[in-house]
Amino acid sequence: MNIEPIGDRILVRQEKSDDRTESGLYIPDNAQKQPNTGEVIAIPIMLETLDFTVGNTILFAKYAGTIVNSGDEELLILDVEEIIAVLHED
């Protein structure tokens, strides 16, 4: 399925949390902390003048967005207002 966000929303691939501890024990899904960072994978044409583009890593509010399924992958649709920062590697 191809998902194209509309309005002032973007599509994000949320980073995965670790499913094991440092010692190798598995952490169940309901006990894992969900990171609030992800990669922007789609932006509507009307929002292309923003301070971020497809491929940028962003920081967003902890409980932000709506989870959608695309094939075997979970993606997140976020309102632009829920984005806190663009992360750059040094």
Q: 30 pLDDT band (50/70/90 cuts)?
A: low
Residue in 41, 36, 35 with CA at minimum distance from that of residue 9 = 41
Read off the pTM.
0.76
Select from 3.40.50.10490, 3.90.1570.10, 3.30.300.10, 2.30.33.40 the CATH code of 9-87: 2.30.33.40
- The whole-number average pLDDT for the span 23-41 is 74
Q: 32 pLDDT band (50/70/90 cuts)?
A: low
Look at residue 17 in the predicted model and tell me its pLDDT.
63
- How does pLDDT run across 36-89, given as a tens digit for each residue? 889 999 998 877 767 888 999 999 988 889 999 888 888 999 998 999 999 887
